[in-house]
Every structure is written in structure tokens, then in C-alpha cells.
Chains A and B, each alone.
Chain A
Amino acid sequence: MTAEHEITLVVNGAARRARVPGRRLLSDCLRHDLGLTGTHVGCEHGVCGCCTVLLDGEPVRSCLTLAVTVDGREITTVEGLAGPGGLSPVQRAFAECHALQCGFCTPGFLCTVTALLRERPAPTDEEIREGISGNLCRCTGYQNIVKAVHRAAELLAEES
């Protein structure tokens, strides 16, 4: 029997407790222990980026992170991106630009782009492509994702 650990994660602003074995991946903890199934798992070896969440604001692969190692830390998942006023500028831009099709990779992209635009509020095309080059999408050919990042930058600038 594997030993279990009591951990507390601050997920989308709320403290959440879970009892997990040491080997439990953060992605599985979020999805199956906390019921936040918006974070998706596409490869379980840290390449596709579907499972990207924000850990203390920085994008990480939740499939390469053990849940016990982030005890007490702050995590933002796709479920936490929208504000009380509705969809975040990044989410709105993705809808406006048709930057998603099947939607499976989308939560990872949204988290990545949210962090990217915080660092670089007005990225060039090249900076966008580089910035999202850790996330795979099999549906869109990235055309409209790049467009959506530009659009999100515009929306963020308008709002600030």
C-alpha cells in the first residue's frame, strides 16, 4: 500500500484538500480528486502541453508535476481564467478568432497565452509562435491561434 499524503492546493482562489499517494500526478489530482476536468491530458510525457496550468502564475505541465510537490501553492486552471464579468480577454479572443476546434488542447493554450501576454503584452508574430511552441494542436494549424493571441493583446490593452 502506497503512503498517502494530505495536501492543500489553492486552486482558482479556493483552498482545496486532497489525500494523494506520492506518485499522483498533479493532472490526475486536479481532474480526478478535485473534479476539475478542464485540464486535459494528451501525452503524459510533457510534450503536448494540453495539461498546462499556471503554478503561482507560471505555466507548468501538470502531467510532469507530482501533486505532493505543490502542496500549499497556487494553481490556476482553465476553470479559473474567467472573471466575475465573464470570459477573460484571452478566452474571448479565442472564440472571436475561431482558435479552437475540438477544444482538447485549448485549456493548455489558454493558460500558456495568459502567462505569455502578462510577460509580453504586445508580442510580435514570431514571439507568439515561439511562445506557444510548447503546445500541440492537431486541429487548427495554429493560424487562428496566432490571430487570437494578437486579438487578446488588443483586448487586454483596451481594458487596462
Chain B
Amino acid sequence: MSTRLFGEAVPRREDPRLLTGQGRYLDDLGPGALAAAFVRSPHAHARIRDIDVSAALDVEGLVAVYTWEDLPERVGRPLPLLIPHPALTHGRTARPLARDVVRHVGEPVVMVVAADRYLAEDACALIEVDYEVLEPVAGLEEAARGARLVHDDVPGNVGAHLVQEVPSAAGRSAGEAIDAAPHTLSFRLDIERSASMPLEGRGVYARWDGADLRVYSSTQTSTSVRMAVAAALELPLPRVEVIAPDVGGGFGVKIVHPWPEELLVPWAAMLLGREVKWAEDRREHFVAAAHERGQVHRVRVGFDDDGRVLGLDVSILHDHGAYTPYGIIVPIVTSTQLLGPYKIGAYRVEFTAVYTNTVQVTPYRGAGRPQGVFCMERTMDKIARHLGKDRTEVRAANLIQPDEFPYDQGMTFQDGRPLVYDSGDYPEMLRLVKELIGWDSFERAPGRGIGIGCYVEGTGVGPYEGGHVQITSDGRVHVSTGLTSQGQGHETVFAQIAATELGVPIERVSVVTGDTRRFGYAVGTFASRAAVMSGNAIALACAEVRRKALRVAAAALEADPADLTVTDGLVHVVGAPSASIPLGTVAVLANPLRYAFDEETARATQFAGVAAPDRPPVAPGEEPGLEGRGYYSPIRSTFAAGMHAAVVETDPETAEIKIVRYAVVHDCGRLINPMIVEGQIHGGVAQGIGGALYERMAYDADGQLLNASFMDFLMPYATEIPAVETGHLETPSPLNPLGIKGAGEAGVIPVSAVIASAVEDAEGVNIDRMPLSPSDLFHLREGA
């Protein structure tokens, strides 16, 4: 039987439990646990004068009420600034419970613990917080004016300012190149806030048995939550375990950690000696988790008669919300990935990240790329329009060519490493997407347009991931990796890799992710990195296990390990399958025993005559058992790419925008499971359409989020998403053994750019602001 599973549409191993209601999500755990609920600030900016909890104390079932004053110093201090960067000169993070000033609606002020969530919310409703309401900083440009401050000690509300410049080959600065160019354009672009919005909110559940703490969290990084919890609660690391159970979507928001609740819930569980759980409700998720996107770009570009960009200068104003726990990753990604598949003569990019009295901004699928791609692709369309050229022709004139890889963009990427593209074939990709959508034969008509958007995505960022593989005496293969899963099908793709590498049927392979009891070293799931990082680490671990299996089997079969291979779980001499030994037996032989527990293991006991009496049963340098570990740590990111195109129709009266066709060509290197990759792309495109046409966070001038519910924040249903047509290109990455690149975030990245391009084509008005509602389009028409 062939065990070539890599590259096949293997059905998902996760599905049977998730289809029958047997998944275990955070709020499915701990049925008897106490429930936590939070009193959150109703004001965008206020000083807390007094907190009166007395009325809540009579609520039956109330167990505890905590304010900042109750917290020990290590718990009450500001939360970690996860990614410090020298340009983040004024990084600020919240305290788990507000001490004196609240800086956004939804900031936690009081924690209540009660017998159940209903009672905890009853108690919350009776707690009186006396606020001195302060003037909020509500909009991005108001923040930039700096007349009012979010943090008293952050002048001008500026958290970070960073400039990166890449001169042209001739040594010209971007400004010089633009000034000298035959054509120049300058314009402004706006992108609104949106959010990850997983259907399962955040959640934490903690158990303390007097010595050991076990925390379950709906997180994208259990290993790092573990370290943060151990540090804050001053527990030895081996006494803390963190498990990400089934997680109902993440899309970025759950990479932030430790959330206030991730420290407070375990702390309360320890203090009370009871299990405590908090499951976020939807309103909380809107006002107390994180958002993304919100940026303003000011662009100046110079180009030649063919549309080749000679100089590009982009100035970005980035809204960071009230705090910067995740550093300035989002604007760094925007400013670097803006370059896409193009070679730009000279480039200067500058961003200013400012604080506002709104929910903090941290990465949401795409993580700054949708804004950057919107900027570059709008630029390409404007150049084409200015020159009267086809939009794909202008792009083609700027593309990096296949023989130019590795291609150094001359910048520093989000991992602190040079922005060097590893591989790709962008002209071929452009040809494929044009063919798929029928670009050259498209019949333009009033209210009917076609658009395109191209991007490059740095995926698989470091520093590392690891994998552990163990074969037990029953022949089963147990794979674990530290990073977490939120629906990406890791149990399936990692099993495919292990089954392929080891030569075993996939049915014998099981995979555990995000459980620090099984694997303690990991970074997390973000930046389309899981397949690249853990996939390669698991492949390396498998190679180690396989080497050992062949060594042990060689002794038993009296053969040379070099002559052995593994097929269908049996080690045998190449070309001679009759002389074979099952991997389970090899596992038995690899673990010299004193005690037998079945017939199989009796073969490994001390009187079975397996080990030579003149040598130690476990040879020097060997370990008992058939297991191995592998770590993969890349020198830098690998770069996936894609190009999308769409046909839209706009209604002449209602200005409704209908996406008639949507086509995707995508290159994420070698595909492990094409079915899963397509699913990732579909989901990304749908989120992109949400961001392009429907989703925005409507803050008013008081800093109130007016649409903090699914009634008002419009996420697309099936009726809003067209059929998505996909095509693949496979340019293997030379950077990793499996030749793969990440795919998770890809789908979402160029969608706003594509829709803007298509609507502009249909309507002839400039589309410089997303999302684009029918009302927005109506007003644009009126202004035209």
C-alpha cells in the first residue's frame, strides 16, 4: 500500500467529533466551575473616583468581587508589551483591572465570581462605579492633532514612528525619483476598522489543586500564555499547564496574551481553591478584545510612460486604539508588504502609530497586509488610468521576474530579518488569473466592471516550532506540536506529514496541538506559519524516529539499516517484504524492560535474550523508546503570493454592489492538502468581502461603539458571498525541507483592492475608501 499522503485531499480527522457535538470548546469544559463576569467601563475615557460594591454583596451565589486594589503587585501591574520595538518609544499596555483611568469602553474594572454566569451578571449590575468622565480622543486624525491625550505621558498620542527608505539602483531617494519622474500622482486612502470576530469568543477556565495549576484558554498560543501566567502568579513553570481545547476560530485576535482574564481567572481559582471559568459574550468581544485595519495613507508616486514605478512615498497614520500589547507589527507589515510582487524604483514609507480611546488594535487575518495591498493596487490602477493603459499591463511592467529570486526588497520585515522573497512566478500567476476571469474578453458595460489585486505574503515567520513523535508498542504514532489550532485542520495535515515520512497508515497517527503537557516549546499560530513551521519540525522529528527504527530493526533482522525501509508500518529489507518487523515491535525492542505487561512486551524483558549480555541494555548515547523531537527554525520568512480578480455589477438606482464572479490564483508552494488550502482561501475571501463591503466599527465622537452586536456589525452570510473560483500555482520554497509556504491568511489580503478596482471600473468614480456601502457609492456618484 502506498503511504503517499502528502499532497492529497485527505478527509479531516477533526470532523467526526465536531459534526456530532463532541468537540470540546472552552465553555464546554468545567461544568461545575464558578463563573466570572466583569464590570466594564461604559466610558471611552474616564477617571475612576470610587467603586461601591456593597449592593452586590447580597446577591445569592456571589463568591467574590475584586477590584484593582485587591490584586497582588505581579498581577495588577500593566500587562506585558509582547513585541518591543525600538521605534515604539511610547508603548503602553492596560492593567488587568483598571487602576485609576479607563481608556476605552469595555475596559475591565471589577471582576465578579459567582455560582453561575446569571448570578455573576446580577452582581455586576449592582456595582456602582463613580467616574469622572474625560474628553475622549475618538478619531484617527483627532488623535494625530494631539490636542487631547489618551495617555498623559504620551505627547501627541504618538506611540511609534518609523521610517524605512530604499533608494533606487542609481542611488536616488524616493522623493528625488518622484520629482524627476515623467508622471506623478498623489492621493489619500482610508481603510476602516474591522475585527477578527471568531464565532467563539475568548474564554479561560482554571483549576488549582493546591500545587498545580491547569489553565484552559481559547488561545492561539498556549505555551506563551503558560509562561505569562507562571510569571504573573509567581509559580514555577513546571507547575503550570495550559491547554488550548477546540477553539472556535481565532483569525488573530486570540494571539494576544495574556488577556486580563487569562491572569485574573487562574489567580481567582488559586485564591478561592475552586474552579473558575469565564466565557466571553459577544458584546464583550466587540468592546474588550481587539480590532484591526484602521489606517489613513497619503501616497505620492512617480512613474514612466510604461507605468513603471520610479519612486513611491507612502505616509501611514495607524490607529492603535488605547494600548499596544502586540507592538507595532501591524503597521510594520503594512509598510513592508505594501510592495507586493513589484520592484519599485525607490521607496520611502513612514508610519505614525497613534493612540485613540478605542479598543486596542492587534493583528486580524492579513495583519496589516490588506491595507498595504489596497494602497499599492490602488496606485497601480491610478497609474493605468492616468496613462490610459490596461491595468494588468501596468502591473506586468512592474513585476519581479522569475529569474530574479531570491529578491531583496531592501527592507526589514516584521521578524527583524531582511525582506527577501524566496521564490515565485508572478508573470505566470498574472497570466493564470487573467485567463481564469477572462480578463481580455471581458465586455464592459455601464454598471459592470472588472478588477484585480495582487499581493505577496511573508509566511512562516520564526523563531521556531517543534514536534515530538512517539511510536508505541501497539504501533500507533503519537505526534504533538506546541502551536495551537483554530480550525485549520492541523490534526489532518500533520498526520499526513507524519504518515508520509514514517511510512505508516494515517489511521495509526494521532496529533495533539496546543497542549503544554505534551509539548512545551512553541511560539503560536499566526502569520500563516503553522504548516511551514510545525509541518517541517514534525517531518524532522519523524526522520529521527525513522532512523532509530531502522537501526533497532536492523539488529533484529540482522540486516544493514541502509537496506531497510518502512511500508505500511512494517520495517523490511528493500525489495524483500517477507523479512519484516512491525514498528510496534521495534518500539518494544527499543525499550528494554524488566516487567512485561503483555506477550509483545515480554520480548523486551531481561531474560528474553534480546540484548547482548556484555553491553548495557541502553547503549551510550541512546535513549529508551522509539521517539524523537525535531525543531525547525528558518533563517527568514517564506513568501507566498496570490492574485485575485472579480467582476461586479452595480445597481444604477440603489447603488447596490453585487460580486458576479470571484477568481483566485494562489501559490503557497507545495500543497499538503489541497482541500484544506482551498477552504482557507474561501474563508479568507469571505472575510475580505466583509471588510470590503460591509464591516466597520462605528465609533461616535464620544468613543462609543455604536454597532457592537451582530445585528449592526454586518458580517456576510451565504447570500453575500459569491462562488469563488480557484487556481493553484506551486512554486516550492527553497527555504524548508518540505518546500511549503503558508496559506492561512492569504484569501483575505487583496479583496478590498480587488473590489475597489472592479467598482471603479464599473462606475468611473475614484474609490479611495473602504469599506464601500451602497450609501457610500451613492454619494460618490453624486459628487462625480
Contact = CB atoms under 8 A, between A and B. Distances in A.
A40 B683 contact: no
B709 to A, nearest CB: 6
Interface in B281-319: 281-282
B278 interface: no
Nearest to A100: B18
Given A91-B20, A105-B199, A136-B199, A98 B719 contact: no
Interface stretch (B21-29, B261-269, B451-459, B619-627): B21-29
A36 B28 CA distance: 9
A82 B20 contact: yes
A50 interface: yes
B249 interface: yes
Contact of B718 (A38, A39, A77, A132): A132
Contact of B118 (A21, A96, A103, A135): A21
Interface string A93-135: 0111010111111110010000000000000000011101111
Interface stretch (B9-17, B134-142, B347-355): B9-17
B776 interface: no
Interface in B230-273: 246-249, 251
A14 interface: no
A144 interface: yes
Contact of A138 (B20, B22, B246, B251): B251
B149 to A, nearest CB: 35
A139 B718 contact: no
B19 interface: yes
A63 B11 CA distance: 32
B200 interface: yes
B364 to A, nearest CB: 11
Given A94-B15, A95-B16, A100-B19, A40 B31 contact: no
Given A35-B31, A45-B709, A140 B682 contact: yes
Interface in A22-37: 23-24, 31-32, 35-37
B486 A102 contact: yes
Contacts of B683: 101, 138-141
Contacts of A79: 20-22
A138 B249 contact: yes
Given A102-B486, A138-B197, A139-B683, A78 B721 contact: no
Contacts of B12: 95, 98
A99 to B, nearest CB: 9
Interface in B673-731: 675-676, 678-680, 682-687, 709-711, 715, 717-719, 721, 723-724
Contacts of B20: 38, 78-79, 81-82, 87, 91
A48 B249 CA distance: 14
A60 interface: no
B474 interface: no
A13 B428 CA distance: 58
B449 interface: no
Contacts of B116: 32
A110 to B, nearest CB: 7
B324 interface: no
B248 A102 contact: yes
A42 B15 CA distance: 20
A43 interface: yes
B198 interface: yes
B9 to A, nearest CB: 8
A24 B117 CA distance: 11
A77 B710 contact: no
Contacts of A77: 21
Given A98-B12, A138-B687, A141-B721, A43 B682 contact: no
Given A95-B11, A137-B199, A143-B723, A38 B679 contact: no
B638 interface: no
A15 interface: no
Say which size band chain B's interface belongs to.
Answer: 35 or more
B248 A104 contact: yes
B460 interface: no
B321 interface: no
A93 to B, nearest CB: 10
B60 interface: yes
Interface residues of A, number: 58
Residue among A43, A136, A143 with the highest chain B CB neighbour number at 10 A: A143
B302 to A, nearest CB: 38
A68 interface: no
B409 interface: no
A96 B718 CA distance: 19
A142 B721 contact: yes
A156 to B, nearest CB: 16
B718 A44 contact: no
Nearest to A81: B20
B487 interface: yes
Contacts of A32: 31, 116
A34 to B, nearest CB: 10
B719 A129 contact: yes
Nearest to B251: A138
Contact of A106 (B19, B198, B676): B19
Interface string B125-162: 00000000000000000000000000000000000000
A146 interface: yes
Contact of A139 (B31, B487, B721): B487
Contacts of B487: 100-104, 139
A140 B28 CA distance: 23
Nearest to B676: A98
Nearest to B198: A138
Interface of A: 1, 21, 23-24, 31-32, 35-45, 47-48, 50, 77-79, 81-82, 87, 91, 94-96, 98, 100-107, 110, 128-130, 132-146
15 contacts: A24-B118, A37-B24, A38-B20, A40-B25, A42-B282, A100-B487, A101-B249, A104-B199, A128-B718, A132-B717, A132-B718, A135-B718, A136-B710, A136-B717, A142-B718
Given A100-B15, A139-B249, A143-B723, 19 more contacts: A31-B28, A38-B21, A38-B23, A42-B199, A43-B710, A78-B19, A87-B19, A94-B15, A94-B19, A95-B19, A102-B246, A103-B14, A104-B25, A132-B717, A136-B199, A138-B198, A139-B683, A141-B686, A141-B747
Interface of B: 11-12, 14-16, 18-25, 27-28, 31, 60, 116, 118, 197-200, 246-249, 251, 281-282, 486-489, 675-676, 678-680, 682-687, 709-711, 715, 717-719, 721, 723-724, 747
The 6 A-B pairs with the shortest beta carbon distances in the complex, nearest first, are A38-B21, A102-B487, A104-B248, A103-B18, A141-B686, A141-B682
